[in-house]
Chains A and B, each alone.
Chain A
Amino acid sequence: AQKITQTQPGMFVQEKEAVTLDCTYDTSDQSYGLFWYKQPSSGEMIFLIYQGSYDEQNATEGRYSLNFQKARKSANLVISASQLGDSAMYFCAMRVVDSNYQLIWGAGTKLIIKP
């Protein structure tokens, strides 16, 4: 069965520190995509970063990077030099052929950055 697990319901981090948000996934597909989204308190869902299952390099987008460990089936999001504006819910999601390419979502992690 296809599944995304985010084990951290909530996290508090000091401003300017790096943050790692955990995501593990389960699929028997060889081809899949992994995505991270940010949902601030205003409610919109913002796409952050994508990692393909065949990508050999970890994806990076500005202060966001994805620590992709295929053998461990983990796709952790790393935010460098956290800012107050990073406070939000963060969702990990996966898209696989077997799910008819629908996004499979984790439960999310609520990140709060402390000044």
Chain B
Amino acid sequence: DAGVIQSPRHEVTEMGQEVTLRCKPISGHDYLFWYRQTMMRGLELLIYFNNNVPIDDSGMPEDRFSAKMPNASFSTLKIQPSEPRDSAVYFCASSLGGGTIYEQYFGPGTRLTVT
């Protein structure tokens, strides 16, 4: 299996620009999660989907962040406009189910730097 695929791996952008991060979950997984990791705040869950439907977006920091999952094999996380404090590593993860027994598999992450 190819694992969770994320692109780009690195993104450097200027403040105010739109940033789009992409994720392809493992085939057959019906849960998809977006996380952000920083030194200060650790790993934070931003939003997650079940069967392409957003279930909980309470972790999305503000309206500048949006996420979509148009089909079972693709999701995007968009930041518009970007700010320096958005600099972080963004992970996408997927799991086979939503119960307590299911592990999440992570993509390699996108390192975002906003200058």
Binding site for B on A (CB under 8 A): 31-33, 35, 37, 43-47, 50, 52-53, 91, 95-97, 100-103, 105, 107-108
Residues of A within 8 A of B99 (CB): 33, 95, 101
A32 to B56, CA, bound (A): 20
B interface, by DSSP: helix, strand, loop or mixed?
strand
A103 and B42 within 8 A (CB): no
B56 and A95 within 8 A (CB): no
A96 and B105 within 8 A (CB): no
Of the residues B43, B101, B108, contact of A50 by C-beta under 8 Å: B101
A71 to B39, CA, bound (A): 33
A-B contacts, 24 of them at CB < 8 A, read A31-B100, A32-B100, A33-B101, A35-B103, A35-B104, A37-B106, A43-B89, A43-B111, A44-B108, A45-B93, A45-B109, A46-B106, A47-B104, A50-B101, A50-B103, A95-B102, A96-B100, A97-B100, A101-B98, A101-B99, A101-B100, A102-B45, A103-B45, A105-B43
Of the residues A33, A47, A105, contact of B42 by C-beta under 8 Å: A105
Residues of B within 8 A of A102 (CB): 45, 48, 56
Given the interface contacts A53-B100, A101-B100, does A44 sit within 8 Å of B42 by beta carbon? Answer: no
Look across to chain A and name the residue whose beta carbon is closest to the beta carbon of B100.
A33
The reply to whether the CB of B91 lies closer than 8 angstroms to some CB of chain A is yes
A47 and B98 within 8 A (CB): no
The reply to whether the CB of B55 lies closer than 8 angstroms to some CB of chain A is yes
B101 and A45 within 8 A (CB): no
B101 and A100 within 8 A (CB): no
Q: How far is the CB of A84 from chain B (nearest CB, A)?
A: 22
Look across to chain A and name the residue whose beta carbon is closest to the beta carbon of B105.
A47
A100 to B33, CA, bound (A): 13
B100 and A45 within 8 A (CB): no
B42 and A107 within 8 A (CB): yes
